[in-house]
Homo-oligomer: A and B are copies of this chain.
Amino acid sequence: MTQFGTFVHAARRSLQAGDRRYSLRQVAKRISVEPSYLSKIERGQVAPPSEAATVRLAMELDQDPDVLLALGGKVSSDLQEVIRKRPRLFAQLIRELRDAPDHAVLRIVREVRDGDW
């Protein structure tokens, strides 16, 4: 939960080191939230923001949106939509892969990408 804030804070600080456009206030402004809100987010004083705000934040800080959403306890709604369209199929697949090692999942991703159906 405070994972999210810590991560965001670290990412912003690291950018801020080399570019003063990454102050809390300026970042807040660019992602369209109040500075005080972003401050609270970074310090874990409030729950992670909505999906939309999280994605804007990820973009701004040059981070992977799916990772940031995950830290915020969420799953991108476009992924959810894919699952909802074929729930039995994807539910089965995902549960099957729950305990598979990364490299096994990756192998499948590559297999699929090389489009062999």
Which of B74, B76, B102 meets A86, CB within 8 Å?
B102
The CA of A88 and the CA of B106, in the complex, are separated in Å by 10
**Could you give, for residues 62-96 of chain A, a 1 whenever the CB lies within 8 Å of some chain B CB and a 0 otherwise?**
00101101100111101110111111111111111
Tell me if A20 counts as interface (CB < 8 A to partner B). Answer: no
Contact of A98 among B82, B97, B117 (CB under 8 A): B82
Copies per assembly: 2
Stretch at the interface among A6-14, A26-34, A35-43, A107-115: A107-115
Instruction: Find out whether the CB atom of B66 lies under 8 angstroms from the CB atom of A87.
Output: yes
Give 17 A-B contacts (CB < 8 Å), ordered by A residue.
Answer: A64-B87, A70-B83, A70-B84, A70-B85, A74-B84, A76-B91, A78-B95, A79-B95, A80-B80, A82-B98, A83-B94, A86-B102, A93-B112, A96-B109, A96-B112, A97-B112, A108-B112
Interface positions of A (Cβ within 8 A of B): 64, 66-67, 69-70, 73-76, 78-80, 82-98, 100-109, 111-113, 117
